[in-house]
Amino acid sequence: MPDPRYSVPTAAESVQQLVDMLQLKHLDPNDAAGAGPSAEDHFLGPVFKQAYWRVFGGQVLAQSATAAMQTVEPDRLIHSVHGYFLRPGDATKPIQVSVDRLRDGGSFSARRSQAYQDGTPILSMIASFQRPSPGVAHQRRMPQNVPDPEDLAPPQELVGHVKHPIVHEWAHGRPFDIRHVDRPIYLEADQDPHATSAVWLRTKAPLPDDPDIHRAAILYASDYTLLEPILRRHGLYWAKPEMKVASLDHAMWWHRDARADEWLLYVQQSPSAQNARGLAQGWIYSREGALVASVAQEGMVRPPEGLRPKLSEKMQQTLVHSSRATRQVNKKYSETWSSRYLDS
């Protein structure tokens, strides 16, 4: 449930929180709660209050990857992570990350990161690192005819008028500015069901020049909207009463360096959904068209059942459609949101 005492951070505060949460404290093994073998490195990551009691999954991913980054030589760059979300994190408690140095070869290194709260694992991740080397190169082409981010609505224009702490956080409290190429599905379903989605995103303020912070920040942001193609395809949306959505796993491959404080295009699609699970894939491009990263995630999606959520949704949609702000936004951007850049 939302915390009524929660105060939504400003744009500058939210970006500073993102930077601060990536500054992990290296613990003495004797001080690490539930410490494993002495060969492991232990880190403590800060957690900041959120409107909802759960820790955002992208934060746990980014902190676990950052911890692993601190155990390799500086010339070995992270190129992939594969993580499983084991339990929801508590947004009122710090996160401890243990890193097992699995292998250091001639060119590649492997690390296993485990994120804990109260001695219980909440995420398990394998990360791989490589010393840069020459070789073959090609990339998937960036979609054409995508509207520019300047022509799309910022989140505060879309839902900033809604008096609800979680929606208010979507509008103002996130460190990333997220601009939807498709009709946003915060408060209502997309009336043109399709299993694709795309957003432009960048942090709301500049980040430090450390490339590892930008790599971790892109990983953080990759968890925001990746399940949206599944929701769109089935006429679902984030605020649908009593709907349950949760990330189950997350994989990301870094291909080329980019800054998280410059516009990135995140194109997503879902090839399949079944058994209350949906698979989503994503590709992140720089504005110049370089393929920065590829992403994959499976998520649990359980639409609500029964009469009570239907009644709640009917009342909610009456309010949404009667909102002057919503009508104005829909009128202003409806033509732009009709852009199509991938086959449905």
Question: Which one of 223, 261, 270, 294 is the catalytic residue?
Answer: 223
Pairing mode, if any, of strands 77-85 and 41-45? Answer: unpaired
Question: Which one of 17, 197, 270, 297 is the catalytic residue?
Answer: 297
Residues comprising the chain, all counted: 344
Query: Catalytic: 247?
Result: yes
**Span between the terminal Cα atoms of the chain, in Å:** 35
The order of strands in the sheet holding 95-104 is 25-27, 41-45, 95-104, 108-117, 120-130, 77-85, 244-254, 291-302, 277-286, 264-274, 196-203, 176-180
Burial class (CB in 10 A: 0-12, 13-18, 19+), 125: buried
Question: Which one of 222, 247, 268, 269 is the catalytic residue?
Answer: 247
Query: Catalytic: 297?
Result: yes
Over the range 257-275, which residues count as b (16 or more CB within 10 Å of their CB) and which as e?
ebbbbebbbbbbbbeebee
Query: Catalytic: 31?
Result: no
Which residues are the active-site residues?
223, 247, 297
